[in-house]
A and B are shown apart, each in its own frame.
Chain A
Amino acid sequence: MALDPVARAAIVAALGPDDVVDDPVQTRAYECDGLTGYRVRPEIVLIPRDAEAVARAVKACHRNGVPFVARGAGTGLSGGALPVADGVVISLARLKRVLEVDPVNRRAVVEPGVTNLEITAAAAAHGLYYAPDPSSQQVCTIGGNVAENSGGAHCLKYGFTTNHVLAMEVVLPDGELVTLGGDSAEQLGPDLRGVFLGSEGTLGITTKITVRLLRTPETVRTLLADFPSVAEAGEVVSDIVAAGIVPAAVEMMDTLAIEAAEEAVHAGYTVGVPAALVVELDGPIEQCDAEFAQVKEICDAHGCTRLHIAGSPEERAAIWRGRKAAFAAVGRISPDYFVQDGVVPRTRLAEVLGRIADMGDEAGLRVANVFHAGDGNLHPLVLYSAAAGETERAEELSGAIAELCVELGGSLSGEHGIGTDKACSMPKMYGEEDLAVMKRVRDAFDPEGLCNPGKVLPTPRLCGERPGKYRPHPLEESGVIERL
């Protein structure tokens, strides 16, 4: 089924040739986002330059019944920006202006293609910053952060994107331009801003985002501590929280993740230790000092083998560079890998890690762990070699780990989203009624099902079939039904 020529002409005309990519080779560069296991070539890529052009593009798609998928920097790890065959990708890469920084009201208004870190850069001169900090903050865009309700290392203390976005200008799936939320955090009526935030691009496309800015903390203290076991490190996390301390971040890396990160950025991690914790405290100097002393005591009490305290902003940056580069750095120690994302109750960290290690041994695959230990958000990285034919086994292991998280009372995804990757696991976490309600909300925004279809909610077509090996149904063989 190819794209209808009339529809194609109308969609191309909505923007004009400079903002359209429809060469069959060039469009292949848009086949996948950060999750390369799923690839679909879009028919047309539109790269509008302003909100009105986004609205025109969506309207043209809507009028012609053509599915469309929004794309920011394409760094997502759940296939949320996977194109639809014969469909349109709307790239927000050219909507990248910081429209306003309002230091008095501590707000900034930005376009969706602005990167997370550029917001902080724009606000820094006023002693302000944008708090959510996903590990990909230097490249991921705020539009994608809104779609995924992204977190980051510091969401333990400061919350997720939803806690920092006041309002969004949005193009709805029929092309209408509306504003959800407002300048004040208190809005009357149903919280449509809240509904939209984290909807993974299924309810529309943001074109303008008003974010809250926070005052840069008076001081920040960061330490890197090595532990003889993952379990000991896990207990340190529980003890810190039990002591009434709310750290800005508590991150854990296991031995494989440390090895990869150290190889990539030489940040001063100890290669070979079973586990390392990064603990960061921020706030008023006196409070920070007092709590930092407590944290050090707790580390020592759990057999900490080395404690490195960042003595300068450069050293602190190096520690974070190591942590934040860890995902991508795993590419150095393995030809291929899956990044998993799940949540467990913090108290079950040691247990889940033990089970993951057992599952890895059973599958004969290595699993590296990098995670936001403070809130139990795990990122197991399943290492494999596609060339050695390990893909399927790795995929199964990765999926089983996510489902293990649900089994232990957690969640399928902490921050990477459901996207394409986990849509079929949704029934493990939600009952039929839950899913039906979600579907109704989605239908209210997008009755035609054109806006990022196939993501988040399981569909029979999505979850019933596996690609590659095509096995005809008996009814097909007998000529009763036809699948394609």
Chain B
Amino acid sequence: MTTPAGSADTNLPQTGPSAFDEHHPPSRELLDDCVHCGFCLPTCPTYQLWGEEMDSPRGRIYLMDLAEKGEIGLEGPLRQHIDACLGCMACVTACPSGVQYDKLLESVRPQLERNVPRTPADRMFREAIFALFPYKRRLRAAALPGALYQKLAAVPAVRRLAAKLPGRLAALESLLPPVTVREAFATLPVHTSAVGERRGRVALLSGCVQDVFFHRVNEATVRVLAAEGLDVLVPRDQQCCGALELHAGREDPALARAKRTIERFERLDVDHVVTNVAGCGSSMKDYAHLLADDPEWARRAKEFSARVRDVHEVLAELGPRAPRSPVPARVAYHDACHLGHAQGVRTQPREVLRSIPELEVLDIPEAALCCGSAGIYNMIMPEAADELGRRKADNVRSVEPAVVVTANPGCLLQIGKHLKDGTGADLPLLHPVQLLDASIRNVPVPRS
């Protein structure tokens, strides 16, 4: 077996200095883990949409590899294709070689944010998103009926933007459904005692988008945890966990939020820090890795991350105790990417749902495929997100559910939008704990 003309060695030699800067570049070992087998292709949403190698996990890794070897720059194709990635991590699940694409993406995105300038319109739009989402108060103002667009349009920069990016703004608006004033401003009790004999003590991250748009999910979560025998603390002065910024490569503000969150929760005497949002859980579990080389924070981050649990993990581990009343319904469970792929939490939510008598849990075809929400993705890449959203809605309809549940507000908004655009307008879309809450309290299943 000889190597023919025109070929190169298995590992191309370094041809120049790396295009990445010295702060956490993608590591050579992680890049070399990819053997280019292609098992990631069928689960990659963008490869499914466009069928182009550069927009597949192994293609993106190939480009990272070239940049690390100094053969290509960071600007141009590398940025374009890393931007197009949803960060759903389906490839991490699919990869037989254990390639840590999550870690690679986590180091490459901040590199691009730091070193490759964005166009003014793109930059402004992103600034607008990050000036809004991590802040509960601003979100509340935006969430009041009919207020969002007017509020945004009052900002001159946004008005100029609207002319340039009508698709993005429309996407932003359609994803933020108005909520009632009462819900937007409601707060959770700081302390809720366990019902019956106490089985533990947890603190709940109430989230930003979650607490404003899905306050009812937080209420249900507190009730369910208490009913199952847990004391529940909800620190009043907690802030955003930084997930949106982290997943978009905005490293500095994300780390600042991570530290604030650690600081807020580490002094609480609790067994676990619980979240009911997939994206928040995956970022909080990642703090340990993110702050690993920060001498002041490494140990604290590690201890904090070790205590973080998704609400389903806690419930499944405790096992059901509160009596449940039957909910005779066909329920489609959608695996949020940041729960299934990023945290490997797949069986627990199903187990929790199956603890409800007469409830039938349905799996959705193409379950591993992202719905297109992906943090801020459906705002910055609305066309691709819409295509994925339609596909997810079709798959959801195909199993003819009476209720659809998923554990991430982004997915709820995205799937809700696309079910409405089709024929599934009156399908209730819920977080799984809302169903459990209804079952435990023996009340009708809520409509939203």
Hey, which bits of chain A sit against chain B, CB under 8 A?
Answer: 21, 23, 25-26, 28-34, 36-40, 45, 47, 73-75, 82, 85, 91, 93-94, 96, 113, 115, 136, 138-140, 263-265, 325, 327-329, 331-332, 335-337, 386-387, 391, 395-396, 398-399, 402, 420-425, 454, 461-463, 465-468
Option from A38, A73, A264, A265 in Cβ contact (under 8 Å) with B41: A73
CA distance A96 to B49 in the complex (A): 11
Contact in complex: A39, B7 (CB < 8 Å): yes
15 residue pairs of the A-B complex, CB under 8 angstroms, read: A29-B62, A30-B53, A33-B36, A37-B8, A45-B53, A47-B52, A74-B53, A136-B37, A140-B38, A327-B96, A328-B95, A391-B9, A461-B5, A463-B4, A465-B4
Option from B1, B7, B59, B97 in Cβ contact (under 8 Å) with A331: B97
In the bound complex, residues from chain A placing their C-beta under 8 Å from that of B62 are 28-29, 31
Among the interface residues B37, B54, B62, B98, which one has the most CB atoms of the partner chain A within 10 A?
Answer: B37
Contact in complex: A36, B1 (CB < 8 Å): no
Contact flags (1/0) for B19-44 with A, using CB distance below 8 Å? 00000000000001111111101100
Option from B32, B33, B38, B77 in Cβ contact (under 8 Å) with A23: B77
Q: Which are the 4 A-B pairs with shortest beta-carbon distances?
A: A399-B1, A93-B51, A331-B97, A328-B96
In the bound complex, residues from chain A placing their C-beta under 8 Å from that of B15 are none
Query: How many residues does chain B have at the interface if contact means C-beta atoms less than 8 Å apart?
Result: 40
In the bound complex, residues from chain A placing their C-beta under 8 Å from that of B7 are 37-40, 82, 420, 467
Contact in complex: B1, A424 (CB < 8 Å): yes
Among the interface residues A23, A328, A454, which one has the most CB atoms of the partner chain B within 10 A?
Answer: A328
B150 within 8 A of A: no
Contact in complex: A39, B53 (CB < 8 Å): no
CA distance A8 to B142 in the complex (A): 52
Option from A32, A264, A399 in Cβ contact (under 8 Å) with B97: A264
Chain B proximity of A36: nearest CB distance (Å): 5
Contact in complex: A36, B10 (CB < 8 Å): yes
Within 8 A of A (CB), among B34-71: 34-39, 41-42, 47, 51-54, 59, 62-63, 66
* Residue of B whose beta carbon sits closest to that of A82: B7
Contact in complex: B2, A336 (CB < 8 Å): no
B11 within 8 A of A: yes
* Residue of A whose beta carbon sits closest to that of B73: A25
B72 within 8 A of A: yes
CA distance A97 to B207 in the complex (A): 42
Contact in complex: B5, A465 (CB < 8 Å): yes
Contact in complex: A136, B39 (CB < 8 Å): yes
Contact flags (1/0) for B420-441 with A, using CB distance below 8 Å? 0000000000000000000000
In the bound complex, residues from chain A placing their C-beta under 8 Å from that of B42 are 115, 138-139
Contact in complex: B98, A331 (CB < 8 Å): yes
How many A-B pairs have beta carbons closer than 8 Å: the answer is 151
Among the interface residues A331, A395, A468, which one has the most CB atoms of the partner chain B within 10 A?
Answer: A331
Known pairs A139-B42, A328-B37, A328-B97; A423 contacts B11 (CB<8 A): no
* Residue of B whose beta carbon sits closest to that of A463: B2
Known pairs A38-B4, A93-B52, A113-B51; A73 contacts B11 (CB<8 A): no
Chain B proximity of A201: nearest CB distance (Å): 16
* Residue of B whose beta carbon sits closest to that of A74: B38
CA distance A39 to B41 in the complex (A): 20
In the bound complex, residues from chain B placing their C-beta under 8 Å from that of A96 are 51
Known pairs A398-B1, A399-B1; A328 contacts B35 (CB<8 A): yes
Hey, which bits of chain B sit against chain A, CB under 8 A?
Answer: 1-12, 32-39, 41-42, 47, 51-54, 59, 62-63, 66, 72, 76-78, 95-99
Contact in complex: B63, A25 (CB < 8 Å): yes
In the bound complex, residues from chain A placing their C-beta under 8 Å from that of B3 are 37-38, 395, 466-467
In the bound complex, residues from chain B placing their C-beta under 8 Å from that of A422 are 1
In the bound complex, residues from chain B placing their C-beta under 8 Å from that of A82 are 7
CA distance A113 to B96 in the complex (A): 22
* Residue of B whose beta carbon sits closest to that of A138: B42
Chain B proximity of A408: nearest CB distance (Å): 17
In the bound complex, residues from chain B placing their C-beta under 8 Å from that of A34 are 35-38
CA distance A103 to B33 in the complex (A): 43
Known pairs A26-B77, A34-B36; A466 contacts B51 (CB<8 A): no
In the bound complex, residues from chain B placing their C-beta under 8 Å from that of A32 are 36
Chain B proximity of A200: nearest CB distance (Å): 15
Chain B proximity of A135: nearest CB distance (Å): 10
Contact in complex: A402, B38 (CB < 8 Å): no
Contact in complex: B1, A402 (CB < 8 Å): yes
Option from A25, A325, A468 in Cβ contact (under 8 Å) with B96: A325
Contact in complex: B2, A75 (CB < 8 Å): no
Known pairs A25-B76, A29-B62, A264-B97; A75 contacts B38 (CB<8 A): yes
Known pairs A328-B96, A332-B97, A332-B98; A25 contacts B72 (CB<8 A): yes
In the bound complex, residues from chain A placing their C-beta under 8 Å from that of B51 are 47, 91, 93-94, 96, 113
CA distance A424 to B2 in the complex (A): 7
Chain B proximity of A398: nearest CB distance (Å): 6
Contact in complex: B32, A335 (CB < 8 Å): yes
Chain A proximity of B306: nearest CB distance (Å): 22
In the bound complex, residues from chain A placing their C-beta under 8 Å from that of B33 are 331
* Residue of A whose beta carbon sits closest to that of B5: A465
CA distance A395 to B96 in the complex (A): 23
Contact in complex: A73, B38 (CB < 8 Å): yes
Chain B proximity of A224: nearest CB distance (Å): 18
Contact in complex: B10, A420 (CB < 8 Å): no
Known pairs A21-B52, A26-B54, A336-B10; A327 contacts B37 (CB<8 A): yes
CA distance A39 to B5 in the complex (A): 10
Given A25-B77, A331-B35, 10 more A-B residue pairs with CB atoms under 8 Å apart are A30-B53, A36-B10, A38-B3, A47-B51, A136-B37, A139-B38, A328-B95, A399-B2, A424-B4, A465-B5
Chain A proximity of B411: nearest CB distance (Å): 24
Contact in complex: B37, A29 (CB < 8 Å): no
* Residue of A whose beta carbon sits closest to that of B54: A29
Contact in complex: B10, A37 (CB < 8 Å): yes
In the bound complex, residues from chain A placing their C-beta under 8 Å from that of B78 are 25
